[in-house]
Structure 1
Amino acid sequence: MKIAVEGCAHGELDTIYSTIRYLEEKEGFKIDLLICCGDFQASRNEEDLRCMAVPPKYCKICSFYKYYTGEKAAPVLTIFIGGNHEASNHLQELPYGGWVAPNIYYLGYAGVINIAGVRIGGISGIYKPKDYMRGHFEYSPYNDNTKRSVYHIRNLEVFRLKQISEPLNIFLSHDWPNGIWEYGNKTQLIKFKPYFEKDIENGDLGSKPTGELLDVLKPDYWFSAHLHCKFAAVVPHSCGKTTRFLALDKCLPQRRFMQIVDVPHNTNLKTEISYDLEWLTILRLTNHLLSVKNVNNYMPGPTGNEKWCFKPTEAEKSDTLEIFGENLVVPDNFEKTAEGYKGYKMKNVRQPQAVCNPQTVLFCKKLSIDDPLTLILNLDLSVDNAAEGATDLSIDRTFVDSEVSTTTPVQKKMVLNLPKPVNDDDVPETEELQNPETPECVQSPVEEAADEPNSSKKFKRRNASIYQND
């Protein structure tokens, strides 16, 4: 299988697909799959742009909306993970993955899929220690703080990924695994990005949780982006396996943002996305660990008194397979949940209200798991309160427009203390020289900008006993 791997997409799908078409014509081969390693920017309209953590002057609509509306069709099956410059309200509709446009699939907060026998896993977002142990409490409209914390990875997804025991062919993360520089040309990396040197010396470059995942999962390939440079490494594991790591640049002229790799696959299978049985079972077994509170959410461990190992047994996987009728092919059930860009600027654009996606509703109902948004928004779609024929998948506008409260009532005698807005110091951007004769791709610097405040709302919580105050 010929796979095109792309670094930071920054919404420039037209440019990326044009590059693929150029390579196919020049080299005489056909690309089977496109993988994007974050900063995809699946912005459908101007409201989505207000949910991106970038200054207003960099809120460019780019070209994704054309594929969302059907104006254009993705010429190759495309999968992606989220980064730190995303239309977060859109991606939050699909916490367990789903179609953002025909032929374009998002892996979710974390996920594993199969394509023609190639097993691909990934985790979205970047690592920030202060948010790592929190629940998925954010929703649109975001305030200045939650607009950024929403794309920070959480310990729940890392814990779930650590339950995987079957081999992975490919794994994706936006930021690099911590320590990866030791297995490549560190001198050349520092020469190209001098300001990395101090972080490398302090052991701070990259993500510590994804570094742990690299040691546990040991995939054949690991692809990343985020730091806007190409870097290759070969990581040996004690078991004798090796992982080939590759980070790629952002979509800009004269930059190394794409690589073609050949990965063995099952030629008897169609190039289509199927759910991964082991991953589905892990989601089902760990649903009770989901938190939507802005407090520390501790994962179970060997020193505790509760079950902490959720590696699926054959019997548990068999039960999951039965739930899906032994058909794990992802249904082609893309459905628009917002209007597409109209081609002109609108006045008084605001962040949209949160919306639950029918794909997620169907998936959660089938697997008997919870959608974080339904728990936050107090909809009757949770596992314990599934209502037949429920169609209201958005929150009431009067609630969206209500005043901000410093506390969110969660349960009797329990309150949720919201922190003051704090800006993240994400990866600094460097000035890029661009060829004026080459089409430009919009980049998104990591400056911070304030936006609309978040709201608060009462919500129900199943398995509430595991969310008692510390």
Structure 2
Amino acid sequence: MAPESLLVAGVGDIHGRFHRVEAWLDALEAARGRPVDMVLAVGDVEAFRHADDHRRKAAKRAMPAEFAEYADGVRAMRRPLYFIGGNNEDFEALHDAPDGFQLAPNVHYLGRAGLKELHGLRVGYLSGIHAPRFYEQPLKRPRSLDTAKQAGYFRVSEVEKVSALRDVDLMLLHEWPRGLPQRAQERDVPPPGRPLPSSWIGNPITRDLVERVHPKWVLCGHSHRAFAVTLGWQGGRTVTRVACLDQAARPEESVFWMEFQGREVVSAGWGLSGQVSWRAGSPWGLGSLPSLPEPEPLGTGI
């Protein structure tokens, strides 16, 4: 008997837009005709527990302080959400739980670095971005805006912890691995209207991490654009498929779903339509990205 399938939704940088993301997931469930079993967010979630903290510290302070409703029990997340830290978070609330904790019902911080088994999947993760000046410095308690900013940078001990992992089904990173555009250009022709990002995007530390661990899939965010590329290892005998997600401004490129049979992805797609853009055995690359929306017609000027 085939194993029961699992529907996992990856979400790009939420930046506090929890109501919007929940509505998107409702639409995805309707399109796929089944529930989303879990949601994985790639950082910059901005789960500020208090409205005043959101208004003072969030990257998008003009937005309503939506997470406070979940922390206060006014609303409840309808499906389990697991997130890593980006470089914009409520670091004061996260600092004392480097191995993760539950912030509210169905809302889980995975931690700064490590491995969790979620619904039978081995999920490795590294929170934060690379800042060379702080890479080997100890992590300070975020008591000020400056030390809170430093909390958004990963440290060498955290990278070493993740680099020792093996047999990883999914790896969650906030910042892209360096070199993805070059690798994509070696294999694919960019679709019309989709220029390649700068060759300097991402950082070499997460690239080295992926090269050591060889996860089956990587999800990342931070740079607010969708991207897809395959990295090959051991002469192509094993591969890592990378999906970079846009911020949660519109769903077409910020929601990426995967259907698993056991621990293997059998199909995947972008956005809320439920349409499959990749199946097991097919190539994964720039051609797997969603179609860009048609430009709006120009007004007549009358």
Same fold (TM over 0.5): yes
Matches within 5 A, 1:151-166: 151-164=152-165, 166=166
| Helix, strand or coil at the partner of 1:232 | strand
Q: How much identity, in percent, do the aligned residues show?
A: 26
Q: Is the 8 A contact 1:162 1:213 kept in 2?
A: yes
Matches within 5 A, 1:289-304: none
The residue identity in structure 2 corresponding to 1:126 is: I
Cα separation, 1, equivalents of 2:243 and 2:194: 16
Offset at residue 187 of structure 1 (A):
6.4
The residue identity in structure 1 corresponding to 2:215 is: P
Q: Does 1:149 align with 2:147?
A: no
Q: Is the 8 A contact 1:51 1:147 kept in 2?
A: no
| Helix, strand or coil at the partner of 1:184 | helix
The residue identity in structure 1 corresponding to 2:14 is: A
The residue identity in structure 2 corresponding to 1:211 is: R
Look up the match of 1:182.
Answer: 182
Choose which of 215, 235, 247 in structure 2 pairs with 1:219: 215
Relative to structure 1, the CA distance from residue 134 to residue 217 in structure 2 (aligned partners, 3 Å threshold; closer, same or farther) is same
Look up the match of 2:268.
Answer: none
| Helix, strand or coil at the partner of 1:176 | coil
Matches within 5 A, 1:28-43: 28-43=33-48
Matches within 5 A, 1:34-53: 34-49=39-54, 52=57
Look up the match of 1:114.
Answer: 117
Compare the two structures and name the one with the higher strand fraction.
2
Radius of gyration: which is bigger?
Answer: 1
Q: Is the 8 A contact 2:176 2:221 kept in 1?
A: yes
TM-score scaled to structure 1, two decimals? 0.51
Q: Is the 8 A contact 2:46 2:58 kept in 1?
A: no
Relative to structure 1, the CA distance from residue 254 to residue 223 in structure 2 (aligned partners, 3 Å threshold; closer, same or farther) is closer
Relative to structure 1, the CA distance from residue 154 to residue 232 in structure 2 (aligned partners, 3 Å threshold; closer, same or farther) is same
Choose which of 11, 15, 19 in structure 1 pairs with 2:20: 15
Look up the match of 1:86.
Answer: 89
Relative to structure 1, the CA distance from residue 254 to residue 46 in structure 2 (aligned partners, 3 Å threshold; closer, same or farther) is closer
Cα separation, 2, equivalents of 1:92 and 1:193: 39
Cα separation, 2, equivalents of 1:59 and 1:158: 34
Look up the match of 1:70.
Answer: 73
Relative to structure 1, the CA distance from residue 93 to residue 225 in structure 2 (aligned partners, 3 Å threshold; closer, same or farther) is same
Gaps of 5+ in 2: 1-5, 264-295, 297-302
| Helix, strand or coil at the partner of 2:253 | coil
Choose which of 240, 253, 262 in structure 2 pairs with 1:243: 240
Matches within 5 A, 1:243-392: 243-253=240-250, 255-265=252-262
Look up the match of 1:310.
Answer: none
What does the per-residue CA deviation read over 1:345-396, in whole Å, with 9 as the maximum and x for residues that have no partner? xxxxxxxxxxxxxxxxxxxxxxxxxxxxxxxxxxxxxxxxxxxxxxxxxxxx
The residue identity in structure 1 corresponding to 2:44 is: D
Relative to structure 1, the CA distance from residue 190 to residue 172 in structure 2 (aligned partners, 3 Å threshold; closer, same or farther) is farther
Q: Is the 8 A contact 2:114 2:161 kept in 1?
A: no
Q: Is the 8 A contact 2:92 2:141 kept in 1?
A: no
Cα separation, 2, equivalents of 1:254 and 1:139: 33
Look up the match of 1:169.
Answer: 169
- The runs of at least 4 aligned residues of structure 1 exceeding 3 Å deviation read 50-54, 59-62, 185-194
| Helix, strand or coil at the partner of 1:263 | strand
Q: Is the 8 A contact 1:126 1:153 kept in 2?
A: yes
Q: Is the 8 A contact 2:16 2:66 kept in 1?
A: yes
What does the per-residue CA deviation read over 1:49-103, in whole Å, with 9 as the maximum and x for residues that have no partner? 367364xx73544321221111111111110111112111112132111111111
Cα separation, 2, equivalents of 1:189 and 1:52: 38
The residue identity in structure 2 corresponding to 1:152 is: Y
Q: Is the 8 A contact 2:84 2:126 kept in 1?
A: yes
| Helix, strand or coil at the partner of 1:229 | coil
Cα separation, 2, equivalents of 1:130 and 1:189: 37
Offset at residue 254 of structure 1 (A):
6.3
| Helix, strand or coil at the partner of 1:70 | coil
Cα separation, 1, equivalents of 2:142 and 2:88: 16
The residue identity in structure 2 corresponding to 1:205 is: I
Q: Is the 8 A contact 2:227 2:245 kept in 1?
A: yes
Look up the match of 1:318.
Answer: none
| Helix, strand or coil at the partner of 1:21 | helix
The residue identity in structure 2 corresponding to 1:110 is: A
Relative to structure 1, the CA distance from residue 90 to residue 60 in structure 2 (aligned partners, 3 Å threshold; closer, same or farther) is farther
Q: Is the 8 A contact 1:111 1:122 kept in 2?
A: yes
Matches within 5 A, 1:102-141: 102-140=105-143
Q: Is the 8 A contact 1:184 1:231 kept in 2?
A: no
Relative to structure 1, the CA distance from residue 63 to residue 187 in structure 2 (aligned partners, 3 Å threshold; closer, same or farther) is farther
